[in-house]
């Protein structure tokens, strides 16, 4: 059975001389794997369309429990040669986030939309990259069912106080008076309102805010630690990203 799908290549593995095994993030079916043969000619559409970070229109054929790429036409290829290494590393981390957190064989429109938007803003270059990282981390962890509870203090229900704390283990929020033990991190008012914005805004607004650069760095440390605590996953691309100094 043949069908078409628009998909982002989130992992590629070369097989032999001219074939690739692709991991694709699709809107209708979430993550699927597909073989692409004959991608050796690096000038061919098939080569460009099946590279990591390509968003392409695929004609796929289902054969047994595998998919084969029959035709592919690139729609947009993110980060060609010559781009900034820090941004390239972050885009690879976005792919790994999707790989670990997006479902298989299940509708995943919001995951795809999130990753495509983040890649778009990252390559456009007009937003702080720590902010883009924070938005992507917090939104994807919320889409995966681990949304933190940031409406108000877990103890007394207050909306904000001078000092609040975020529990990395269960995503709960505590004020200074109510806080008990646990894996608590202080969270500033700016960080809290940024996280509320990302979680509670309609999708097309989640990138529309700004914070001072030093706050963006603290914010993404918080979203990163929350995501890693919740998933208990070691993201190799994140370690690589963090090893590259900012320019
Ligand atoms: Zn309280």
Average confidence score pLDDT of the chain: 93
Q: Tally helices (H) and strands (E) across the chain.
A: 7, 8
Residue extents of the structural domains in the chain: 2-77, 85-153+156-243
145 pLDDT more than 60: yes
Can you tell me the mean pLDDT for 36-65? 86
Q: Measured in angstroms, how far is the CA atom of residue 135 from the centroid of ligand 1?
A: 26
List the one residue out of 53, 40, 38, 46 whose CA is nearest residue 71. Answer: 46
Within 10 angstroms of residue 145's Cβ, the number of other Cβ atoms is 8
Q: How high is the pLDDT of residue 77?
A: 92
CATH class of 85-153+156-243: mainly alpha
Distance from the CA of 198 to the center of ligand 1, in angstroms?
23
pTM attached to this predicted model: 0.94
Q: How far is the centre of ligand 1, averaged over its atoms, from the C-alpha of 159 (Å)?
A: 9
Ligand 1 centre to CA of 126 (Å) is: 38
Each residue's pLDDT tens digit, 131-144:
999 999 999 999 99
- Return the CA Rg of the chain: 20
The mean pLDDT value for 27-48 works out to: 84
CB-side exposure of 43: number of CA atoms within 13 Å? Answer: 0
Q: Can you give the pLDDT at residue 43?
A: 65
Question: How large a percentage of the chain has pLDDT more than 70?
Answer: 96
Residues 72, 42: contact at Cβ < 8 Å? no
73-110 pLDDT tens trace: 999 999 765 578 999 999 999 999 999 999 998 999 99
Which fold does the domain 2-77 belong to in CATH? OB fold (Dihydrolipoamide Acetyltransferase, E2P) (2.40.50)
Query: Distance, CA 201 to ligand 1 centroid (Å)?
Result: 24
Neighbours of ion ligand 1 (CB under 5 A): 153, 155-156, 175, 178
Lowest mean pLDDT among 15-24, 32-41, 154-163: 32-41
Q: Quote the pLDDT of residue 23.
A: 97
Distance between Cα 166 and ligand 1 center (Å): 12
Select from 80, 104, 106 the least CA-distant residue to 91: 80
Contact (Cβ atoms closer than 8 angstroms) between residue 204 and residue 135: no
User: Terminus-to-terminus CA distance in the chain, angstroms?
Assistant: 49
């Amino acid at each position: 059975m043949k069908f078409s799908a628009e998909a982002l290549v989130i992992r590629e593995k070369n097989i032999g001389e001219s074939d690739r095994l692709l991991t694709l993030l699709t809107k209708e079916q979430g993550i699927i794997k597909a073989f692409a043969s004959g991608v050796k000619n690096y000038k061919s559409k098939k080569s460009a369309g099946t590279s990591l970070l390509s968003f392409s229109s695929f004609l796929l054929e289902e054969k047994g429990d595998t998919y084969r790429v029959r035709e592919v036409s690139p729609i947009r290829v993110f980060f060609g040669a010559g781009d900034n290494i820090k941004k390239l590393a972050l885009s690879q981390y976005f792919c790994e986030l999707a790989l670990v957190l997006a479902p298989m064989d299940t509708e995943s429109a919001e995951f795809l939309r999130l990753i495509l938007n983040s890649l778009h803003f990252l390559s456009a270059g007009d937003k702080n990259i720590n902010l883009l990282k924070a938005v992507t981390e917090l939104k994807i962890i919320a889409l995966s069912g681990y949304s933190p509870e940031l409406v108000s203090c877990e103890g007394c229900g207050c909306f904000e106080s001078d000092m609040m704390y975020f529990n990395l283990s269960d995503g709960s929020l505590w004020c200074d008076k109510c806080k008990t033990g646990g894996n608590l991190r202080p969270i500033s008012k700016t960080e809290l309102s940024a996280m509320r914005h990302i979680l509670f805004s309609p999708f097309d607004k989640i990138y529309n805010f700004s914070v001072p650069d030093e706050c963006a760095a603290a914010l993404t440390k918080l979203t990163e630690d929350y995501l890693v605590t919740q998933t208990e996953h070691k993201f190799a691309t994140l370690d690589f990203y963090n090893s590259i100094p900012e320019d």
